[in-house]
Structure 1
Amino acid sequence: MRDIRYPIEGVIYHPEERARGYLERSVWRPQTVGGVLRETASRCPERTALITDEGSLTFRELDELTDRLAAAMLRLGLRAPDRVIFQMGTTIETALALLACYKAGIVPVCSLPQHRQLEIGALIRQTGARGYFVQGDFGRADLPDFAAQMMADYPGVEHLIVARGSASQTGHAMGSMIDGMPLLQAREQLFGNEPGCEDVLSFQLSGGTTGSPKIIPRFHAEYLAHALACARRYRLDETERIIWALPLLHNAAQVYVLMPVIAMGVSAVLMPRVDVPRMMELIDQHRVTRAMSIGPIAPQIMAYPDLARHDLSSLRLFITMSAADHLERHLGVPCSNLFGITEGLLLGSPADAPDYVRHHTQGKSGCVEDEIVLLEPESETPVKPGEMGELCFRGPATLPGFFNAPDANARSFTAHGFYRTGDMMTAHVVDGDTFYTFGGRLRDNINRGGEKIGCEEVEALINTHPAVSEARLVAMPDPVYGEKGCIFIIPRPGSLAPSVPELGAFLVEKGLAKYKCPERVEHIDAFPVTKVGKLDKAALRTRIAQVLNREAAMRRESDDDQD
């Protein structure tokens, strides 16, 4: 019998027979997130769960406060499986709000504070949201006022809850809701109303860089097991302390941090924003054992000039998206590459994995039932061993389909149910295990007069240059070849970005074909990111195209003056 107590129209659920098999083989957990938190709070009530500069919470406090908030939401009029928009940063209040929703069966729509009318409007229309959580003190943005405007445009959104700020006339202060709900009454109200383990936990957003994000339903049983399989892959144990400085609403924050915290009893240090000097101080102060860079953190660490004054001896592993060898030499701490996708696959390697695996692959899955194939692009033909192909996967955590998106679902899966990632990978067999190396996006290349240049291949070499902290290659328009390569470089402190001839000589010496060498170098202080926190290469391409247009205009003006 299925444990779906609050079905949602438009959600594609895992077929019953498959779900039953996952539960029987223990690749799903027959529990809910709320139930697991209660068990952990009972086992280690006074252990610290979450740490911030503003204060900390024990597991007992985390469990009690989320019970009270969950019941307060039900008293307010929200009901499972209502959807609620989230625009909150990385704070204890965000963790409380998320976990309270998970306990009540209310489904967070994991948006970001940076999203505006187009994104939020589309998400409200797509999900039929009835509630709205905002953070009242997020930067210079007035999120309560923005939410009130959106609610005026979409009257179906009835309930506004404001954390870390006073409630507006149309909203409710989250702190007051908790204070007004006695614990005993809260637990009586929640009893019997909890979601089932196969119910939807949250609506995560796809990481696409164009158009409206697709909505990815994640489920209690699979999400818990997914996160714990990854934790096992990294040899994580309950003595660990993790640090996190990126959005807490991201899928990465949930699977790498929040789920292990509540399920294993590990502790997490939360930072409201990326601040490398403060991160180094917190690693030292709280004896952090695990750190992670998804996005801008690793390049900023590489450019940080005062690293030597911090004690990082507690760190057992630093996980990054790429260039782990580069970062490991800089930090003196074991580092490994990772790969993660919200649609349901996590690859990684622990600190004791061979150097080649940690530094030159993204690792492997921690789930024994994840199946991976590499296919020739736009086909269902597997590539030959050693060749690069599109990463496609299926398994216990693979989404069965995007929410209310039949066209996207028709395009996104193979005939055998493998999800097409659009990411290119190469498989490597080491000591009998298969590991995967990221080779770029299907369309992340440069077509230089018909010759294709893979950006990641060139970037990986340039990132080994002693003057380079981080580099990203994009296509720039060219009147003869159609496209040429432009490299954006963040130099190391005290260094200058190499010139085009210097960089070309360096790359040719490394063995790179000359036609692949970048033909323009641009200095940049920080890379632009999308609203979901991923590198925005489209913005870099736009930037260099605008620079070239300005230079062409100046040349034309100069020619006119000479005439």
Structure 2
Amino acid sequence: MNETPHSQETPHTLARARTLWDLVARRAALTPDRPVLLQEERVLTFGGLRTRAERVAAGLYGMGVRPGAVVAWQLPTRIESAVLSFALARLGAVQSPVIPFYRDREVGFALRESRAEFFASPGVWRGHDHTEMAARLGAKGVFEAYDDLPDGDPAALPPPPAEGTSVRWIYWTSGTTSDPKGVLHTDRSLIAGGSCLAHALRPTPDDVGSMAFPYAHVAGSDYTVMLLLHGFPAVLFEHFALPGALAEYRRHGVTVAGGSTAFYSMLLAEQRRQPGSKVVPTLRLLAGGGAPKPPELYHAVVREMGVQLTHGYGMTEVPMITMGDPEDTAENLANTEGRPPAGMEVRVVDGEIRLRGEAVCRGYLDPAQTAAAFDADGFLRTGDLGRVTESGHLVLTRRLKDVIIRKGENISAREIEDLLHGHPAVGDVAVIGLPDEVRGELVCAVVEQPPGSAELTLAEVASYLRAAGLSVHKLPERLEVVEALPRNDTLRKVLKYRLRERFSPPSGRP
């Protein structure tokens, strides 16, 4: 039984929900007729979310999905995707969301490592047949869930899960190795992450948010928890592109828009095309994370768009670590990642940021990766270097992990390097991230060629990597051919920092 009567519910009491389904049910009882998800002409209310998710849960149950069953889903940002996810939460299944533009390499790995018993596919989406790919990969229990979702009588359902501390989520992130890592989350860790985000952004029931990023990203659950806690809606974009998306922002009166550095740059570019009027008249706040934010970009957004910009620091393992406060100083908002919320412990050890709190993941599918990731005090080693200022703000300096963050998505440099090492015209290669105002970072391959080889071109590199099965979003956007890669004098390791210094634009500008 809930200890708080529905009429007395607040975001603070809702944040204590035992499970995600408990949170959905409590919000639906509180404001059943208020909208939660908006997409083109469609509107789903909080009450409608609960009702429809229960019927879909019953349909899934009729298909054989049971509490604890592992269900992978690779779906775009649609109302149906959210409904399916909450239906699985109602059942107490273990969900493994997969970014929809991943292909054979990543999807196959996720299916194998998670031992998925079912796989929800969008069918043919943006020219790619996901159902055929699933069959080719030997996926079990494949069903399409783009428009039509399973349906059944909720009376047949078992009781909802009673606790939210069991692992029920497997998210995927690229680490320092070529294969992704399965990050283990609980309902409570996701609720804690969304609560941290909500506390930082201070939304009100009158706000209208937006999801211009993959719902299958951990940010999807993070953002949706914020909607449930504060009772306001968000506009969903299955495919975000400007200027086309502006009509939806204006029609729904979006006040808070979220995304990564690339998102800010795209909106700023649109604003510069019509300097005489606000590109989105109702917009008051841009907020996001997932990629480095140049200070100049913050100042340009505030000056030219007339809105506040708050940027944060998060990762798949901990969706919200720090976030800028809309009422903070311009100096802190431009040059730091904000402050951690209550409940997030930040410790800096030998320059490395380490974290402990309820929003931190339980570890990884691979027990060895879990053992290596946490120190003796239970703090997660982030692999990021930084410092905490006297005011408690976090400043990131660089990453220990060899990961490039392009448009909010982690890209393993080693994965690309391993593939390029098979090219006959590549003697050695180092893949690095270079600062880019639009993408956050761009992918640059620096190649040392064998004597007598014809000089490589970027088009040849892209074609080779495509044929090897690399996802399009990981393809290098820049190629540099050097006589010799810089190395140290002991183990002859490539000194990537020298390559970044050499090829980065002056002052981080493209």
Compute the TM-score of the two structures, normalised by the length of structure 2: 0.74
Q: Which residue of 2 aligns with 1:399?
A: 361
Contact residue 244 and residue 292 of structure 1 kept, 8 A: yes
Q: Which residue of 2 aligns with 1:441?
A: 399
Q: Which residue of 2 aligns with 1:495?
A: none
Q: How has the CA–CA distance of structure 1 residues 87 and 328 changed in structure 2, closer, same or farther, with 3 Å as cutoff? A: same
Contact residue 346 and residue 353 of structure 2 kept, 8 A: yes
Q: How does 1:336-347 map to 2 (within 5 A)?
A: 336-344=310-318, 345-347=320-322
Contact residue 424 and residue 442 of structure 1 kept, 8 A: yes
Alignment partner of 1:248 is 2:215: yes
Compute the TM-score of the two structures, normalised by the length of structure 1: 0.68
Helix, strand or coil at the partner of 2:389: strand
Contact residue 176 and residue 402 of structure 2 kept, 8 A: no
Alignment partner of 1:349 is 2:319: no
- Deviation, 1:471, is 7.2
Distance 2:116 2:60 in 1: 14
Distance 1:414 1:469 in 2: 33
Q: Which residue of 2 aligns with 1:317?
A: 285
Contact residue 448 and residue 483 of structure 2 kept, 8 A: no
Q: How has the CA–CA distance of structure 1 residues 209 and 275 changed in structure 2, closer, same or farther, with 3 Å as cutoff? A: farther
Residue identity opposite 2:269 in structure 1: A
- Deviation, 1:293, is 2.3
- Deviation, 1:352, is 1.1
Q: Which residue of 1 aligns with 2:409?
A: none
Which deviates further from its counterpart, 117-126 or 264-273?
117-126
Q: Which residue of 1 aligns with 2:264?
A: 298
Q: How has the CA–CA distance of structure 1 residues 330 and 313 changed in structure 2, closer, same or farther, with 3 Å as cutoff? A: same
After the TM superposition, list the runs of 4 or more consecutive aligned residues in structure 1 that deviate by more than 4 angstroms: 25-28, 468-479, 530-533, 546-549
Residue identity opposite 1:248 in structure 2: Y
Contact residue 37 and residue 263 of structure 1 kept, 8 A: no
Helix, strand or coil at the partner of 2:301: helix
Q: How does 1:463-482 map to 2 (within 5 A)?
A: 476=446
Aligned with 1:278 (options 233, 244, 251): 244
Q: RMSD of the alignment, in Å? A: 3.2
Q: How has the CA–CA distance of structure 1 residues 239 and 75 changed in structure 2, closer, same or farther, with 3 Å as cutoff? A: same
Alignment partner of 1:267 is 2:233: yes
Alignment partner of 1:425 is 2:391: no
Contact residue 84 and residue 132 of structure 1 kept, 8 A: yes
Q: Which residue of 1 aligns with 2:502?
A: none
Residue identity opposite 1:439 in structure 2: T
Deviations 1:166-193 (A, max 9, x none): xxxxxxxx43x22xx2xxx31x223524
Aligned length: 418
Q: How does 1:336-415 map to 2 (within 5 A)?
A: 336-344=310-318, 345-366=320-341, 368-376=342-350, 389-403=351-365, 405-415=366-376
Contact residue 33 and residue 102 of structure 1 kept, 8 A: yes
Contact residue 448 and residue 484 of structure 2 kept, 8 A: no
Contact residue 446 and residue 482 of structure 2 kept, 8 A: no
Aligned with 2:476 (options 539, 542, 547): 539
Contact residue 423 and residue 441 of structure 1 kept, 8 A: yes
Alignment partner of 1:289 is 2:255: yes
Deviations 1:140-165 (A, max 9, x none): 01112222322xx35xx2x2221236
Consecutive unaligned residues of structure 2, counting only runs of 5 or more, are: 1-11, 404-431, 450-469, 486-510
Helix, strand or coil at the partner of 1:338: strand
Deviations 1:293-335 (A, max 9, x none): 2253223233335344555342221014313233323322111
Distance 2:250 2:316 in 1: 31
Residue identity opposite 2:143 in structure 1: I
Alignment partner of 1:330 is 2:304: yes
Q: Which residue of 1 aligns with 2:495?
A: none
- How many percent identity over aligned positions? 23
Query: Which protein shows a greater Rg?
Result: 1
Contact residue 103 and residue 471 of structure 2 kept, 8 A: no
Contact residue 88 and residue 134 of structure 1 kept, 8 A: yes
Contact residue 45 and residue 58 of structure 1 kept, 8 A: yes
Residue identity opposite 1:192 in structure 2: P
Aligned with 2:188 (options 221, 227, 249): 221
Distance 1:124 1:94 in 2: 18
Which deviates further from its counterpart, 36-45 or 26-35?
26-35
Aligned with 1:200 (options 163, 167, 172): 167
